[in-house]
Structure 1
Amino acid sequence: MRAVMIRDGEFELSDAPDPVAHGDQAIVRVRAAGLNAADLQQARGTYPAPPGWPEDIPGLEIAGVVEQADPDGTWAAGDRVMAVVGGGGHAERIAVPASLLLPIPDQVDDVRAAGFPEAFSTAWDGLVDQAGVRPGERVLVTGAAGGVGTAMVQVAGFAGAEVVASVRRAESHAAVRELVPGAKVVTPGQEEENGPYDVVVELVGGADCLRRVQWLKPYGRILVIGVGAGQESSLRLFDLMRVRGRVLGSTIRARSTVEKAALARRVRAGLLGALAAERLAVPVDSVFPLEQAVEAYARLGSAGKLGKVVLRTA
């Protein structure tokens, strides 16, 4: 099969062995796959694949068709499925534990399905499971125009929160505003004046990101998900103490299959119906064929994206 391979820190399209199913795995013929910042970090050597997943093939979310059913028959050949995986998604085939697979609603095409699993699982896990967002709370999402950002603002709105989306590029404001009726879209320089907040979702990172603790309401939470602008930040502890606040952090990739399967079940119960009813959107910035994977990664690393970058493998 063809696959994107990481060699000496660079991406290249190459031939790779076809995957072999083990245990409860199914073989999925990948039709489309989302790109994520973790793929770039893996190429740089700072975010290796977890044990049991391909070390040299990136790709954390896939959409495709079951080619070989799992031994328990949870899925049948021909079923359309999508999943968050630990790696190996940017290839023509992948072996996936059956418990991680989600059905793709009939109304959703392969490209949008490929952009759903990682972004919306991250949003549900962070906002609902960890931050415990409640109706009427005020939520700030930084970096809200990216793939995870557009999912975060929608899940926050879906939970009944008041949404403030921080988007650097003014030309993207209208598109982000359309995702959540009533959402307020601001530039980073306008974040403070639109507070205080019950929850701040940090998708950018950087040395100053935790200054936002000053804008929290009592018992407010900062949820750190993205660190593309830098992995270290200082925090004035008294500011956190004053509001009796919490700083939370999360990634999904390194979790065990049992943990990921539990999250997949929660996402299926909480969000899949809304996706099928088109109450949730998966904005797609650009789509590249597998042959243009290098160009796709360049787009992923560039500024000004709105939504997901997706590879088409079929």
Structure 2
Amino acid sequence: MRAVKIKDGEFELGEAPDPAADGGLAVVRIRAAGLNAADLQQARGAYPAPPGWPDDIPGLEIAGVIEQPAAGWSAGDRVMAVVGGGAHAERIAVPASLLLPIPDSVDDVHAAGFPEAFSTAWDGLADQAGVRPGERVLITGAAGGVGTAMLQVAALAGADVVASVRRAESHAAVQALASDATVVTPDQEEAHGPYDIVVELVGGKDCLRRVRWLNPYGRILVIGVGAGEETSLRLFDLMRARGRVLGSTIRARSTVEKALLANRVRDGLLRALSAGRLTVPVDSVHPLEQAREAYARLGSPGKLGKVVLQME
């Protein structure tokens, strides 16, 4: 099968063995796959694939059709999933417990951008931060794939959302995802506080300065660190707020943990996705042959939503 291979820090199209279905694995023919910052980090050697997943084929989320079924699924079922790696190929073997059904109302391209971003949003906001109706939530980097998912999940939970987007030309499109949200530029964030939850999707040396804007018992949820992995925190500000700094990532979790999260996403979000109350903004779609261009787009500024590879 054709697959994107990581070689010397670069992405190139090559060949890989077809996966085998055994041990509760289903073989899925991939029709589309989302791109994520973790793919770029993996190519740099900073975020290796967890054990049991390909270490030279990037990709964390798939949409496709089952070719060789496993328990609970049939050949021909349309499915999507968060995987540990190997998504940027024509086929993949996936534990059946990780698969989610694709609603009939959702096409493959948009389904490919759903699993990682919305699982991250649900896990972070609902499971980790415990978002509640009426809480004020700031989302930094809200125009990216995870950012647009965070915005919608927070709004679905009944939160009062402030979305921070650097490029003013993207504000209207972000606003359209949650009509009651307030869309601001980063320099306007403080004026719209204080916040009960700050979702940090950018990182950088000054990102935890936002602890000063927390309400009592507020939470900072760190999900993205593209602007830098090291920061400083004035501890007295955290103490004053009786605040918490939380962090979360999905890729390195065990299959059991990922399956539990898949079930929570199924129960919490799939009905809203099917009904059109959640959407996956797609920045661009690239055929597998143009994988390098897709990764270049992923690493460039000014994106709105997901970059997707289309296999068929």
Both structures adopt the same fold (TM-score exceeding 0.5): yes
TM-score, L = length of structure 2 = 1.00
Aligned-partner Cα distance in 2 for 1:21–1:84: 18
Aligned-partner Cα distance in 2 for 1:154–1:18: 37
Q: What SS is found at the alignment partner of 1:248?
A: strand
Q: What SS is found at the alignment partner of 1:179?
A: coil
Aligned-partner Cα distance in 1 for 2:226–2:306: 16
Q: What SS is found at the alignment partner of 1:198?
A: strand
Which amino acid in structure 2 is aligned with residue 150 of structure 1? T
Q: Which residue of 2 aligns with 1:48?
A: 48
Q: CA deviation at 1:22?
A: 2.5
Aligned-partner Cα distance in 2 for 1:182–1:83: 30
Q: Which residue of 1 aligns with 2:213?
A: 215
Aligned-partner Cα distance in 2 for 1:22–1:162: 46
Q: Which residue of 2 aligns with 1:293?
A: 291
Cα deviations by residue, 1:131-150 (Å, 9 ceiling, x for unpaired): 00000000000000000000
Aligned-partner Cα distance in 2 for 1:145–1:118: 15
Residues 1-314 of structure 1 aligned to structure 2 (within 5 Å)? 1-70=1-70, 72=71, 74-314=72-312
Q: CA deviation at 1:52?
A: 0.3
Which amino acid in structure 2 is aligned with residue 234 of structure 1? S
Q: What SS is found at the alignment partner of 1:285?
A: strand
**Structure 2, gaps ≥5 residues long:** none
Which amino acid in structure 2 is aligned with residue 99 of structure 1? S
Aligned-partner Cα distance in 1 for 2:180–2:302: 23
Which amino acid in structure 2 is aligned with residue 32 of structure 1? A
Q: CA deviation at 1:21?
A: 1.9
Q: What SS is found at the alignment partner of 2:151?
A: helix
Aligned-partner Cα distance in 2 for 1:101–1:295: 28
Aligned-partner Cα distance in 2 for 1:165–1:65: 35
Q: What SS is found at the alignment partner of 1:144?
A: coil
Q: What SS is found at the alignment partner of 2:240?
A: helix
Aligned-partner Cα distance in 2 for 1:178–1:222: 25
Which amino acid in structure 2 is aligned with residue 240 of structure 1? L
Aligned-partner Cα distance in 1 for 2:28–2:302: 32
Q: CA deviation at 1:181?
A: 1.8
Measured on the aligned residues, the alpha-carbon RMSD in Å equals: 0.4
Cα deviations by residue, 1:49-85 (Å, 9 ceiling, x for unpaired): 0000000000000000000011x3x110000000000
Q: What SS is found at the alignment partner of 1:127?
A: helix
Which amino acid in structure 2 is aligned with residue 189 of structure 1? D
Cα deviations by residue, 1:154-207 (Å, 9 ceiling, x for unpaired): 000000000000000000000000111210000000000000000000000000
Aligned-partner Cα distance in 1 for 2:251–2:238: 28
Q: CA deviation at 1:260?
A: 0.1
Aligned-partner Cα distance in 2 for 1:203–1:20: 36
Aligned-partner Cα distance in 2 for 1:107–1:283: 15
Which amino acid in structure 2 is aligned with residue 30 of structure 1? I
Aligned-partner Cα distance in 2 for 1:9–1:178: 37
Aligned-partner Cα distance in 1 for 2:239–2:298: 38
Aligned-partner Cα distance in 2 for 1:84–1:78: 19
Q: CA deviation at 1:20?
A: 1.2
Which amino acid in structure 2 is aligned with residue 56 of structure 1? D
TM-score, L = length of structure 1 = 0.99
Aligned-partner Cα distance in 2 for 1:241–1:199: 16
Aligned-partner Cα distance in 1 for 2:48–2:15: 21
Aligned-partner Cα distance in 2 for 1:15–1:230: 34
Aligned-partner Cα distance in 2 for 1:151–1:183: 13
Cα deviations by residue, 1:32-60 (Å, 9 ceiling, x for unpaired): 00000000000000000000000000000
Which amino acid in structure 2 is aligned with residue 39 of structure 1? D
